[in-house]
Structure 1
Amino acid sequence: MYEQTLYVWRSTKGETRLKRALILVNAYSKLISAINQPIRLKEEFDKLGVEVDIKKNSIDTAMIIEGEAVSFVEDYDFVIYLDKDKYTSSLLEKAGIRLFNRHEAIRVCDDKMDTHIRLAGHGISMPDTIGGLLCYNEEASIDEAMTRIELIEEKLGYPCIIKECYGSLGAKVYCADNREELLTRMEKVKLKSHLFQKMISSSRGRDVRVIVIGGKAICGMQRISKTDFRSNIELGGVAEPIELSKPFIEISEKVAHILDLDYCGIDILYGENGEPVVCEVNSNAFFGAMESVSGVNVAAKYAEYIYETIY
């Protein structure tokens, strides 16, 4: 048992220590959004009396030594893991460190096909999806998969969406309007994990991003592009405030629960009748634009949720 005081925990034995947290970020990212995210969180944790260090992820963060998972992250109460390196997150968690989000939630969300598989069977509306075949031979001809191509045409039709399973900010997502374009896209992604999806034409160039924290949908924004089938702000989309309807709130919270996410951004498409159709789930969704558009202090709400969870 600990009695809460500003900046320290005081144990029943009279011992005290600082409340400390670590934010681990990707070692290579230079995106402004990625740089600002941990800074905003640190600002909000400072107000709560939690000392926060921001560090780049590294191969010496955790490793296996003499058959045991060993962490070199010491004297922190928890780690906010703003990276997608699944090996380090797994090792840290196995070493007993509480991560936000948890390793498995990050891993599943990082793989778009894995996300849809995990959500399947839970009553979540999603675009019809076909997993791409793995190819290990660069010289292999796409023509050898003609039966697969015909199945894609039959089940999904055109236009058809092709996604690499690992990617963010709208990158590595393609659209094919006919067989020739489909073959070209398939050749491009054949050596990578990928999937094919039915285009939700009623939502072309527009979607809704919902932020969920601690199982509650706290805010949302609509994103619109007049020049691209993708609505991502990084690709020229424009965001505007939106009042989330009950169906959008309910499906967002249900998705976060199924995937065991402490925090996430869920991209939702509009079905033919305006109903929500889940497109993607982002475990480390940037919230800078969301704060500006919605007026909600997302960083504060996330920090407060973590504080209440840990302390």
Structure 2
Amino acid sequence: MNLYGWIIYNGYLQGDKFRDFAEWIKYDAAKQKIETTIYKNSELLSLLSSDVLTLLSAKKIIWPDFVIFADKDIYLAKQLELLGVRVFNSAEAIAASDDKIVSYQLLAANKLPVPKTVVAPKAFHRLKYNPIDDYSEAIKMLGFPMIVKEAFGSFGEQVHLVHSKDELAEIIYQLQGHPFMLQEFIAESSGKDVRLQVVGDEVVAAMARSSESDFRANVTAGGKMHVYHPTTAEKQIAVAASKTLGTDFTGIDLLHDGHEKPIICEINSNAHIRNMFDCTGVDVGDFIIDYIRKTLK
């Protein structure tokens, strides 16, 4: 069976890492004799009406057997699915992992370990007054320091560590109109986390990340990385988390409390794999392509 696929990334994001991911996957697909074409999402505009559901460029393209969706443009992913194309990861899985509030809700509903979390009530715009008093019970339960995390964000940039009620009031005021949550601060994992890369039912690679200058361990923010050998329990949690959100492949970030109990910090449906390769020597792309080939077979 000769397969042909697309690899889609976002054409509007700055930097080379998104194109780099696409090129990496294309190379790994070629190793398994699978031809692919790389597209920016901006090259594949969705067209829909009561009479037609397609892409504007439909007449100029060769339709794929599958798409590897290295983006968060869930509307395009959904359009492709409606057109009968198998998308890895699915639009629903991308949406669930992209919205961290939804992620935590699904994980908690499935009894998986997550930090204590209080979801901020929805506000449609910034209020003329500061609603800090609405959070009195949350402050009592979580205490300080605590984490304020926006529902949408990448590379740790929308995660804030606050140490006082005044700091919290300022952050809450700034975030009015944006979905966010308050979370307990896992002090034992400050500046440390573990990334487990899941493909299908398997953890295929893992690394530990650490930062001496930041409570976040993201390599993008200056964190260091080294090979990590996850426990059986950590692998089981990572695979269960991936299945809960419906991802075919994903990066699961774990924290550890004072008892070394793993706690899910974040799920990344579009986790970049170059850092994992640089750290471990494991080419996650090989596993992704093999998984797709076996799934479509």
Same topology, TM > 0.5: yes
Alignment of 1:62-141 (within 5 A): 62-66=46-50, 68-71=52-55, 72=58, 74-141=62-129
What is residue 22 of structure 2 aligned with on the other side? Answer: 38
Distance in 2 of aligned mates of 1:238 and 1:180? 32
Deviation at 1:140, TM superposition (A): 2.7
Distance in 2 of aligned mates of 1:276 and 1:44? 32
Deviation at 1:51, TM superposition (A): 1.1
What is residue 277 of structure 2 aligned with on the other side? Answer: 291
Deviation at 1:42, TM superposition (A): 0.5
User: 2:12 is matched by which residue type in structure 1?
Assistant: Y
- Is 2:31 aligned against 1:27? no
Distance in 1 of aligned mates of 2:269 and 2:53? 24
Deviation at 1:139, TM superposition (A): 4.0
Deviations 1:75-118 (A, max 9, x none): 21101111101211112112211000011100000000010011
Number of equivalenced pairs: 293
Deviations 1:94-147 (A, max 9, x none): 22110000111000000000100111121211101111122223343124x51x
Deviation at 1:59, TM superposition (A): 7.3
Distance in 2 of aligned mates of 1:63 and 1:162? 38
Higher Rg of the two aligned structures? 1
Distance in 1 of aligned mates of 2:179 and 2:148? 11
User: 1:310 is matched by which residue type in structure 2?
Assistant: L
Question: Which runs of 5 or more residues in structure 1 are unaligned?
Answer: 9-18
Q: 2:240 aligns to what SS in structure 1? A: helix
Moved more, 299-308 or 173-182: 299-308
- In the alignment, which of 161, 166, 171 is matched to residue 147 of structure 2? 161
- In the alignment, which of 170, 179, 203 is matched to residue 165 of structure 2? 179
Q: 1:68 to 1:151 in 2, by over 3 A?
A: farther
Moved more, 50-59 or 63-72: 63-72
- Is 2:218 aligned against 1:232? yes
Give the RMSD, CA atoms, in angstroms: 1.5
Kindly indicate whether the alpha-carbon contact (under 8 Å) linking 1:208 and 1:267 is maintained by their aligned counterparts in 2: yes
Deviation at 1:310, TM superposition (A): 1.6
Normalization by structure 2: what TM-score?
0.94
Deviations 1:248-291 (A, max 9, x none): 11100111111111000011001221111001100000111101
Paired-residue identity, % = 29
Normalization by structure 1: what TM-score?
0.90
What is residue 48 of structure 1 aligned with on the other side? Answer: 32
User: 1:218 is matched by which residue type in structure 2?
Assistant: V
Distance in 1 of aligned mates of 2:178 and 2:109? 26
Alignment of 1:137-148 (within 5 A): 137-143=125-131, 145-146=132-133, 148=134
Kindly indicate whether the alpha-carbon contact (under 8 Å) linking 1:129 and 1:197 is maintained by their aligned counterparts in 2: yes
Q: 1:149 aligns to what SS in structure 2? A: helix
What is residue 257 of structure 1 aligned with on the other side? Answer: 243
Kindly indicate whether the alpha-carbon contact (under 8 Å) linking 1:269 and 1:276 is maintained by their aligned counterparts in 2: yes
Moved more, 202-211 or 44-53: 44-53
Distance in 1 of aligned mates of 2:108 and 2:51? 36
Distance in 1 of aligned mates of 2:94 and 2:215? 26
Question: Which runs of 5 or more residues in structure 2 are unaligned?
Answer: none
Deviation at 1:61, TM superposition (A): 3.1
Distance in 2 of aligned mates of 1:276 and 1:245? 10
Moved more, 104-113 or 296-305: 296-305
Kindly indicate whether the alpha-carbon contact (under 8 Å) linking 2:126 and 2:174 is maintained by their aligned counterparts in 1: no
Distance in 2 of aligned mates of 1:297 and 1:83? 20
Deviation at 1:67, TM superposition (A): 5.4
Distance in 1 of aligned mates of 2:73 and 2:289? 22
User: 2:177 is matched by which residue type in structure 1?
Assistant: L
Deviation at 1:185, TM superposition (A): 0.8
Deviation at 1:163, TM superposition (A): 1.0
Kindly indicate whether the alpha-carbon contact (under 8 Å) linking 1:233 and 1:239 is maintained by their aligned counterparts in 2: yes
Distance in 2 of aligned mates of 1:128 and 1:61? 40
- Is 2:253 aligned against 1:267? yes
Deviation at 1:34, TM superposition (A): 1.4
What is residue 188 of structure 1 aligned with on the other side? Answer: 174
